[in-house]
Amino acid sequence: MVGRPVKQERAERTRAALIQAAAKLFGEQGFSGTSVVKIADEAGLTLGAVYFHFRNKSELAREIVFRQPEWVVTPRPSEGLQRVVDVSLTWACQLLDNPILQAGARLVWEQEQFNSPDENSHRQWAEIIMDDLLVAQRRRELRAGTDVQALSRLVVYACTGAQMHSFIETRRADLPERVVEFWQLLLPAVATPATARRIELSECRGRPE
């Protein structure tokens, strides 16, 4: 009975080490440039350890991409439209130095290589954002007639595009500023005037203190 938790803890550490190693390599070299052998070497583990936890590098890539929302945790509680803003700013700020988020940002460009047609990280994020926008709608934070489904897609598209351009031009150094800029333009169009005035938009509101 004593050995079981220890074995489980060791397995969890190994799995976490593999995810960290894969994230580093995917972020630097992309999906095509990364091999299972490289991941094992980076983690200091055997190929057997890799295949014990993941069937192939595609499964590792999906793990990193589809668990992105779990790693984007806002440090302050919020609801409705403020939460949508906070999630986007948390993501933008943490992307500056989080290898797993950086790997996810790189892998979404290549996800057709490891995802099936019915899997889509953009759709996943849009559904998450739409849940908060529905809360905002019930709280009467959005202008009447706002299409929350279209708005959720727009937020995802804008953040994805901002990330791509920011990476090309500044290696993401100005990404939080770009996300703030996006919200400054969008909020007056979709939020009620009172809501737009009270939304907090500091560049790294999402960065843990």
Rounded-to-integer distance, Cα 50 and Cα 45, Å: 8
Q: Are residues 87 and 108 in the same domain?
A: yes
Give domain status of residue 170, yes or no. yes
pLDDT tens for each residue of 126-182: 999 999 999 999 999 999 999 999 999 999 999 999 999 999 999 999 999 999 999
Contact at 8 Å (CB) between 36 and 69? no
Give me the pLDDT at residue 110, please: 87
**Residue range 38-51: average pLDDT?**
95
> What's residue 113's pLDDT?
86
Q: What is the DSSP letter of 75?
A: S
Confidence of residue 206 (pLDDT cuts 50, 70, 90): very low
Q: Is the pLDDT of residue 208 over 50?
A: no
204 lies in a domain? no
pLDDT at residue number 8? 86
* Residue 41, pLDDT score: 96
Mean of per-residue pLDDT scores for the chain: 91
Last residue within a domain, chosen from 63, 83, 112: 63
Same domain (yes/no): 170, 72 = yes
With a cut of 90, say whether residue 94 has pLDDT above it: yes
- The domain total for the chain is 2
Q: Residue 73 is inside which H or E element, if any?
A: none
Q: For residue 106, is it within any domain?
A: yes
Which structural domain range is residue 104 located in?
A: 68-198
Helix (H, G, I), strand (E, B) or coil at 1: coil
Give the CATH number of the domain where residue 167 resides: 1.10.357.10
Average of per-residue pLDDT across 196-204: 86
Structure tokens at 137: 């709608």
CA dist., res. 91 & res. 108, Å (int): 15
Do 38 and 116 lie in a common domain? no
Q: For 110-120, what is each residue's pLDDT tens digit?
A: 888 887 767 77
* Residue 41 CB neighbours (<10 A): 14
> How far is C-alpha 10 from the chain's CA centre?
27
